[in-house]
Amino acid sequence: MKKQLLNVGIKFWVPHNQVMYIRATESAPVKRRIAEMRRTGLLHDATCGKKTRTLIILVTGHGIILPIQPETMENRYEELFK
């Protein structure tokens, strides 16, 4: 089976089967989770200095913060299965 990659930013790709969930970053619980992941070294920053809008949590426990809208990321993820 061919491995499909999800485009999560400029030159940044993630295997689609590693994505656990995609969340918007406006809520306090998500902001706390980002701070915790940053403190423990499990956070990857793919914002390139732009405003953080989306958090992707991987099955490994790592997180990726993105400047892309959560709806856009969900659409990209769903496109992989069409």
Q: How many domains does the chain have?
A: 1
> What was the pLDDT predicted at 42?
97
Q: Structural domain of residue 38, as residue ranges?
A: 5-79
pTM: 0.88
Residue type, 27: S
Q: Give pLDDT tens digits for 1-49.
A: 456 889 887 788 999 999 999 999 999 999 999 999 999 999 999 998 9
Strand pairing of 63-66 and 5-9? unpaired
Give mean pLDDT, residues 72-76.
Answer: 92
